[in-house]
């Protein structure tokens, strides 16, 4: 009996700590305008991002790592790129390429464009964002790194920023009015915020996922609303009042916390126009579930601590070991896919039509299995296969291993047997 009481006491302490730390998961900071006015409080980036674990997306201006390749290596890289990115009918002139929800023009004569990569980090990795143009920004990370990025189809640059100032309440600031956004640790208790986190279990045809929920890539707090039509008229229901949403054909069955049930249709919130349901958890990172794979979400109380701003301070270079198919073992600093070199950067890939976005800091091993799939082992022991994206297929541009600080060894993806990360 004493043991049972001790376990119960530990559970209650954990739940209490989760409740008190819940607000620390929200983005928080100070916005300074071009004429020196300042606003401080919880931040919502555009219409979407509200948590430190949400992703900031933009485009890197150039890839400086190409300088480490010899002329022969560059020629071989061009040949592999040309072969893996095109079909016979596409091997002339320009073409458009679709990557993770965005379209890019690929010009074969422009090396910088071809090997230009997406800039992705979590908002918790950011120290500041300063607009430098209509669709450009200077991004500074917590470790002091600076990047010049541009929008190129991403909606995190040139967007409005909402902030709930502790004195005046909510204000929406246009990109053109912002001098700088400076991020800082969120107080453990916020008196004024955009809402409570949405947390739940999402059932899919391939399994279940539990974590913080983003609905339709947009709604993610309790005050956001689910829109739809009923046989009696249009409704707009706060997510905080919902118990579950279940897909049923071209409509959804919604159950409220009171037990009330209704069918909704006619809106991208509740039909096949839904852009997807995202689940973010400490266990797997970010999982993006398309509507065709979605079955049901059940909202529950938060039972894991949201990541606070201070928990993102570990921003280090990627180091590890590369084993090659011809028996070599090379250790040192790594630049993965000729681009990712820090542990805050991410690996993207698909499993059963579900997209995974995982920071390198959570990954233990990556092992190519064939031209279109790699095995991913997380530091928590989870293992699964990912495919279809450049990071994990033969479109990967290879790995630089810095055994020598100034003269890295270049390993083409076809020669990689396994990459282990420290």
Spatial distance between the Cα atoms of 51 and 254, rounded to a whole number of angstroms: 26
The tens digit of pLDDT for each residue in 272-330 reads 999 999 999 988 889 999 999 999 999 999 988 899 999 999 899 999 999 999 999 99
Spatial distance between the Cα atoms of 169 and 41, rounded to a whole number of angstroms: 9
Per-residue pLDDT band for 184 (boundaries 50, 70, 90) equals very high
The tens digit of pLDDT for each residue in 59-103 reads 887 777 888 888 888 888 877 776 665 544 443 344 444 444 444
CA distances 66 to 112, 160, 251, 263, 340, Å, are: 9, 35, 49, 55, 13
Average pLDDT over residues 214-233: 95
The pLDDT of residue 387: 95
pLDDT at 1 over 70: no
In terms of Cβ atoms closer than 10 Å to its own Cβ (0-12, 13-18, 19+), residue 68 is middle
Spatial distance between the Cα atoms of 350 and 352, rounded to a whole number of angstroms: 7
Spatial distance between the Cα atoms of 62 and 80, rounded to a whole number of angstroms: 20
The pLDDT of residue 14: 44
Residue owning tokens 């279990």: 201
Per-residue pLDDT band for 114 (boundaries 50, 70, 90) equals low
Residues 99/102/108/109 CA torsion (nearest 10 deg): -130
Q: Which pTM does this prediction carry? A: 0.84
Question: What is the radius of gyration, based on Cα positions, of the chain?
Answer: 23
Write the CB contacts of 222 (distance below 8 Å, at least 6 apart in sequence). 195, 196, 197, 198, 238, 239, 240
Phi/psi of residue 339, each to 5°? -145, -60
Phi/psi of residue 360, each to 5°? -60, -30
Spatial distance between the Cα atoms of 400 and 332, rounded to a whole number of angstroms: 9
Of all residues in the chain, the percent with pLDDT exceeding 90 is 73
Output 107 or 262, whichever has higher pLDDT. 262
The pLDDT of residue 391: 93
Domain-wise residue ranges, the chain: 23-60+119-183, 70-111, 199-309, 310-421
Of all residues in the chain, the percent with pLDDT exceeding 70 is 87
Average pLDDT over residues 359-380: 95
The pLDDT of residue 12: 44
pLDDT at 110 over 60: no
Q: Whole-number mean pLDDT of the chain?
A: 88
Per-residue pLDDT band for 45 (boundaries 50, 70, 90) equals very high
In terms of Cβ atoms closer than 10 Å to its own Cβ (0-12, 13-18, 19+), residue 75 is exposed
Maximum Cα–Cα distance across the chain: 76
The pLDDT of residue 84: 64
Output 205 or 18, whichever has higher pLDDT. 205
The pLDDT of residue 284: 85
Spatial distance between the Cα atoms of 282 and 308, rounded to a whole number of angstroms: 12
Write the CB contacts of 292 (distance below 8 Å, at least 6 apart in sequence). 272, 353
SS3 string, the chain, reads CHHHHHHHHHHHHHHHHHHHHHHHHECEEEEEECCCCEEEEEEEECCCECECCCEEEEEECCCHHHHHCCHHHHHHHHHHHHHHHCCHHHCCCCEEEEECCEEEEECCCCHHHHCCCEEEEEHHHEEEEEEEECCEEEEEECCCCEEEEECCCCCCCCCCEEEEECCCEEEEECHHHEEEEEECCCCCCCCCCCCCECEEEEEECCEEEEEEEEECCCECECCCEEEEEECCEEEEEEHHHEEEEEEECCEEEEEECCCCEEEEECCCCCCCCCCCEEEEECCCEEEEECHHHEEEEEECCCCCCCCCHHHHCCCCECEEEEEECCCCEEEEEEEECCCECECCCEEEEEECCEEEEEEHHHEEEEEEEECCEEEEEECCCCEEEEECCHHHCCCCCCEEEECCCCCCEEECHHHEEEEEEC
The pLDDT of residue 77: 82
The tens digit of pLDDT for each residue in 144-167 reads 999 999 887 788 999 999 999 989
Spatial distance between the Cα atoms of 3 and 9, rounded to a whole number of angstroms: 10
């Amino acid at each position: 009996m004493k043991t049972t009481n001790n376990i119960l006491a530990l559970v209650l302490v954990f739940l209490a700590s989760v409740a008190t730390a819940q607000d620390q998961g929200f983005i928080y900071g100070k916005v300074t305008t071009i004429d020196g006015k300042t606003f401080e409080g919880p931040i919502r980036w555009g219409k979407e991002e509200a948590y430190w674990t949400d992703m900031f997306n933009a485009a890197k201006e150039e890839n400086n790592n190409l300088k480490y390749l010899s002329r022969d290596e560059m020629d071989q890289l061009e040949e592999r790129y040309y072969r893996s990115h095109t079909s016979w009918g596409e091997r002339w002139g320009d073409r458009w390429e679709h990557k993770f929800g965005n379209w890019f023009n690929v010009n074969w004569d422009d090396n910088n464009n071809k090997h230009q990569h997406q800039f992705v980090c979590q908002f918790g990795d950011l120290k500041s964002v300063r607009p430098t143009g209509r669709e450009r920004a200077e991004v500074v990370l917590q470790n002091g790194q600076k990047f010049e990025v541009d929008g190129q189809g991403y909606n995190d640059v040139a967007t409005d920023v909402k902030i709930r100032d502790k004195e005046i309440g909510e204000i929406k600031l246009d990109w053109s009015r912002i001098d700088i956004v400076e991020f800082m640790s969120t107080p453990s208790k916020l008196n004024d915020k955009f809402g409570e986190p949405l947390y739940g279990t999402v059932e899919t045809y391939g399994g279940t996922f539990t974590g913080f929920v983003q609905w339709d890539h947009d709604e993610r707090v309790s005050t956001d609303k689910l829109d739809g039509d009923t046989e009696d008229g249009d409704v707009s229901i706060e997510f905080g009042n919902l118990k579950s949403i279940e897909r049923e054909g071209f409509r959804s069955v919604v159950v409220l916390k009171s037990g009330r049930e209704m069918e909704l249709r006619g809106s991208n919130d509740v039909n096949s126009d839904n852009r997807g349901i995202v689940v973010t958890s400490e266990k797997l990172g970010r999982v993006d579930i398309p509507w065709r794979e979605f079955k049901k979400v059940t909202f529950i109380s938060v039972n894991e601590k949201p990541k606070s701003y201070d928990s993102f301070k570990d921003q280090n270079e990627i180091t590890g070991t590369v084993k090659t198919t011809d028996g070599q073992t090379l250790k040192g600093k790594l630049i993965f896919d000729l681009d990712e070199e820090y542990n805050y950067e991410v690996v993207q890939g698909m499993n059963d039509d579900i997209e995974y976005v995982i920071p390198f800091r959570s990954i233990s091993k990556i092992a190519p299995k064939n031209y279109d799939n790699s095995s991913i082992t997380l530091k928590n022991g989870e293992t699964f296969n990912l495919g279809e994206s450049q990071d994990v297929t033969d479109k990967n541009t290879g790995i630089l291993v810095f055994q020598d600080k100034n003269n890295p060894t270049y390993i083409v993806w076809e020669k990689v047997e396994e990459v282990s990360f420290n």
